[in-house]
């Protein structure tokens, strides 16, 4: 555990040192759970957005994009259920006055039990090596079975309590599990209360209830209220999807953990409109497609895990998370939800407008069902950054920190360097830089010794460094250095564009 905490600290400090992420309004001591993306972070974030957009909108003829506003008519949030039901169950510790999310306390307790099993499995592997039958161990070992039964029992009690809106039962569960406050160590808890997560403000100059509007807590509703506009003007036929990237706001209570849980964050969402009765087929389809997208980033599979929801959101009939092994453990990265016709029916009812689709294939009108994929941009950023962060011992007993980012997502694609500031090398390097900058985000760097410059580029994840040296002036060749292998290859300058094009091509990843 200490190791994981250390990792998070290292990522936070690396992010700050190299201009990826800064705390918001830092000069005023920051604003809790709000962050700014620096010069490198803004590039990486934009590249992730573009890659998602390309995979969803560019690669699917039946998916189109949308850019809806953050402010929406307040009735939107009444219809969607967010005014009445978008809340977290909160509990306070009376001794530390620290506020917790009751569901998170229970989830963390379950995770501790699960980790006991993983520890037993790891011990078995260590002791018996290849002779260890992990599957059989998990299916028959009495400790493992006892732990699983505990987990199932806790999950069942929690689900029943939440389904019945029985907050006293949630408190009883926390007490029965003996969960203590991490600060005071006491089990002296208040009752559990619901707390709405939406931020509100007033529109116009008069502050009365009629003017209250909300900062959207999800981008999805902008898609729902525009679905017929897009369907009609785009002549879309079901099944079709609408994709959107944008800011969302939630007054999160457990607002720690860096950019994992923020009060202002970005979502990349896609609503896929289907014929009623076909939603499960599409739900499975999009689950598989989204896993493929994550895998296309080249991150080791051990970082991912699926988790089917026990407690379904008010709008869903099936839901599953893609979880990622973040520096603070496995947590939700993306949600795939079968949202039924809940949202569109609610908007029909509250707006009085018909939101039906006439399906020429079956000669029927209906309100479509919706399958949603919803991934946090900031969480994707953190996942990619933390999987990429590598500390390496080098042969000459030195160390380097390198971000092994997927090359096509790297903030800077190529750094161009003259070996020295003399003999026309800077001019030659500038010439190469000026040619490549049209296509790629490049850096020109002539300061410090070459080794130091390579380390700087490694630390921001630049996949390729081009060095102009004495030989360049004689035969028009340069060396191109690979970030991960650190190998340098000498090539003719007129071959550089072709090499970069091949190495940075997203075709392989996308297909």
Q: Which stretch binds ligand GAP (CB under 6 A): 280-288, 357-365, 368-376, 398-406?
A: 368-376
Q: Shortest Cβ distance from residue 177 to ligand GAP (Å)?
A: 25
Question: Is residue 103 near ligand GAP by the rule CB under 6 A?
Answer: no
Q: Which stretch binds ligand GAP (CB under 6 A): 73-81, 91-99, 203-211, 333-341?
A: 333-341
The dihedrals phi and psi of 249, each to the nearest 5 degrees, come to -135, 135
Q: Which residues contact 303 (CB under 8 A, 6 or more apart)?
A: 324, 325, 383, 387
Specify the DSSP class assigned to residue 37: E
Size of the site for ligand GAP (CB under 6 A): 19
- Could you give the angle at the alpha carbon of 248 between the alpha carbons of 242 and 252, nearest 5°? 140
Q: Which stretch binds ligand GAP (CB under 6 A): 88-96, 119-127, 203-211, 369-377?
A: 369-377
Containing 417, the helix (H) or strand (E) segment is: strand 414-418
Choice between 375 and 509, CB closer to ligand GAP? 375
Question: Is residue 267 near ligand GAP by the rule CB under 6 A?
Answer: yes
Q: Which stretch binds ligand GAP (CB under 6 A): 110-118, 264-272, 391-399, 435-443?
A: 264-272
Q: For residue 368, which of 217, 219, 230, 216 has the smallest C-alpha distance?
A: 230
Choice between 341 and 458, CB closer to ligand GAP? 341
Token pair listed for 174? 């926390």
* Collapsed DSSP state (helix, strand, coil) of residue 15: helix
Q: Which of 333, 383, 385, 436 binds ligand GAP (CB under 6 A)?
A: 333
Token pair listed for 156? 């069942």
Q: Shortest Cβ distance from residue 335 to ligand GAP (Å)?
A: 4
Q: Which stretch binds ligand GAP (CB under 6 A): 166-174, 262-270, 407-415, 471-479?
A: 262-270
Token pair listed for 159? 């689900």
Q: Shortest Cβ distance from residue 375 to ligand GAP (Å)?
A: 6
Cα–Cα distance, 461 to 17 (Å, whole number): 14
> What's the chain's length in residues?
511
Token pair listed for 429? 């390097």
Q: Which residue is nearest to ligand GAP (CB)?
A: 376
Q: Shortest Cβ distance from residue 294 to ligand GAP (Å)?
A: 12
Buried b (16+ CB within 10 A) or exposed e, 95-123: eeeeebbbbbbbeebbeeeeeebeebbee
Cα(first)–Cα(last) distance of the chain, in Å?
38
Specify the DSSP class assigned to residue 367: P
Q: Shortest Cβ distance from residue 382 to ligand GAP (Å)?
A: 9
Choice between 158 and 265, CB closer to ligand GAP? 265
Cα–Cα distance, 429 to 438 (Å, whole number): 15
Q: Shortest Cβ distance from residue 315 to ligand GAP (Å)?
A: 8
Q: For residue 373, which of 293, 271, 463 has the smallest C-alpha distance?
A: 271
280 sits in the region (left: phi over 0; alpha: psi -120 to 50; else beta) called alpha
Q: Which stretch binds ligand GAP (CB under 6 A): 12-20, 283-291, 332-340, 395-403?
A: 332-340
Question: Is residue 323 near ligand GAP by the rule CB under 6 A?
Answer: no
Question: Is residue 336 near ligand GAP by the rule CB under 6 A?
Answer: no
Question: Is residue 45 near ligand GAP by the rule CB under 6 A?
Answer: no
Specify the DSSP class assigned to residue 198: -
Q: Shortest Cβ distance from residue 369 to ligand GAP (Å)?
A: 15
Q: Which of 43, 103, 269, 458 binds ligand GAP (CB under 6 A)?
A: 269
Q: Which residues contact 497 (CB under 8 A, 6 or more apart)?
A: 435, 436, 439
Choice between 243 and 478, CB closer to ligand GAP? 243
Q: Shortest Cβ distance from residue 279 to ligand GAP (Å)?
A: 16
Q: Shortest Cβ distance from residue 2 to ligand GAP (Å)?
A: 25
Specify the DSSP class assigned to residue 54: I
Q: Tokens 């010794």 appear where?
A: 449
Question: Is residue 290 near ligand GAP by the rule CB under 6 A?
Answer: no
Q: Which of 45, 250, 290, 481 binds ligand GAP (CB under 6 A)?
A: 250
Q: Which residues contact 250 (CB under 8 A, 6 or more apart)?
A: 197, 198, 199, 217, 263, 265
Choice between 371 and 509, CB closer to ligand GAP? 371
Question: Is residue 218 near ligand GAP by the rule CB under 6 A?
Answer: yes
The 10 Å Cβ neighbour count of residue 31 is 14
Choice between 216 and 481, CB closer to ligand GAP? 216
C-alpha separations of 498 from 136, 358, 439, 467 in Å: 52, 50, 12, 17
x/- mask, ligand GAP, residues 370-389, rule CB under 6 A, reads: --x-xxx-xx----------
CB-based contact 383:251 (threshold 8 Å): no
Question: Is residue 265 near ligand GAP by the rule CB under 6 A?
Answer: yes
Question: Is residue 107 near ligand GAP by the rule CB under 6 A?
Answer: no
Q: Shortest Cβ distance from residue 362 to ligand GAP (Å)?
A: 29
Choice between 335 and 368, CB closer to ligand GAP? 335
Containing 84, the helix (H) or strand (E) segment is: helix 82-85
Q: Shortest Cβ distance from residue 398 to ligand GAP (Å)?
A: 37
Return residues touching ligand GAP (CB under 6 A).
218, 220, 250, 252, 261-262, 265, 267, 269, 332-335, 372, 374-376, 378-379
């Amino acid at each position: 555990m200490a190791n994981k905490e250390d990792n998070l600290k290292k990522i936070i400090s690396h992010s700050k040192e190299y201009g990826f992420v800064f705390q918001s309004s830092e000069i005023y001591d920051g604003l809790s759970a709000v962050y700014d993306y620096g010069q490198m972070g803004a590039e990486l974030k934009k590249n992730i957005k573009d890659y998602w957009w390309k995979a969803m909108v560019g690669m699917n003829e039946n998916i189109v994009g949308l850019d809806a506003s953050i402010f929406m008519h307040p009735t939107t949030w009444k219809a969607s259920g967010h005014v009445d039901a978008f809340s977290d169950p909160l509990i306070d510790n009376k001794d530390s006055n620290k506020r917790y999310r009751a569901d998170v306390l229970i989830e963390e307790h379950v995770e501790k039990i699960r980790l006991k099993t993983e520890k037993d499995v790891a011990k078995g592997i260590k002791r018996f090596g290849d002779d260890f039958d992990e599957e059989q161990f998990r299916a028959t070992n009495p400790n493992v079975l006892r732990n699983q039964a505990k987990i199932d029992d806790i999950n069942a009690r929690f689900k029943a309590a939440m389904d019945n809106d029985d907050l006293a039962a949630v408190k009883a569960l926390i007490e029965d599990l003996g969960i203590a406050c991490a600060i005071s160590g006491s089990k002296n808890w208040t009752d559990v209360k619901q707390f709405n997560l939406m931020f509100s403000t007033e529109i116009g100059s008069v502050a009365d209830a009629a003017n209250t509007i909300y900062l959207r807590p999800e981008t999805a509703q902008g898609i729902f209220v525009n679905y017929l506009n897009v369907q009609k003007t785009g002549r879309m036929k079901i099944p079709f999807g609408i994709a959107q990237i944008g800011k969302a706001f939630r007054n999160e209570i457990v607002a720690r953990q860096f950019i994992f849980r923020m009060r202002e964050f970005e979502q990349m969402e896609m609503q896929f409109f289907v014929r009623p009765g076909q939603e499960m087929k599409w739900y499975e389809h999009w689950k598989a497609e989204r896993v493929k997208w994550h895998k296309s980033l080249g991150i080791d599979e051990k970082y991912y895990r699926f988790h089917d929801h026990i407690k379904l959101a008010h709008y869903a009939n099936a839901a599953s998370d893609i979880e990622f092994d973040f520096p603070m453990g496995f947590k939700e990265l993306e949600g795939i939800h079968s949202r039924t016709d809940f949202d569109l029916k609610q908007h029909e009812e509250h707006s009085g407008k018909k939101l039906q689709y006439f399906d020429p294939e079956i000669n029927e009108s209906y309100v479509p069902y919706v399958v949603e994929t919803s991934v946090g941009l900031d969480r994707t950023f953190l996942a990619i950054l933390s999987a990429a962060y590598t500390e390496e011992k080098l042969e000459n007993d030195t160390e380097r920190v390198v971000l092994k980012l997927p090359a096509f997502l790297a903030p800077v694609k190529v750094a161009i360097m003259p070996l020295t500031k003399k003999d026309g090398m800077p001019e030659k390097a500038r010439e190469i830089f000026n040619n490549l900058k049209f296509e790629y985000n490049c850096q020109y760097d002539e300061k410090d010794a070459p080794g130091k410059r390579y380390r700087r580029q490694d630390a921001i994840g630049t996949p390729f460094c081009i060095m102009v040296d004495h030989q360049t002036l004689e035969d028009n060749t340069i060396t191109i250095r690979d970030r991960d292998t650190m190998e340098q290859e000498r090539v003719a300058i007129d071959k550089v564009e072709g090499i970069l094009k091949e190495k940075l091509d997203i075709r392989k990843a996308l297909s």
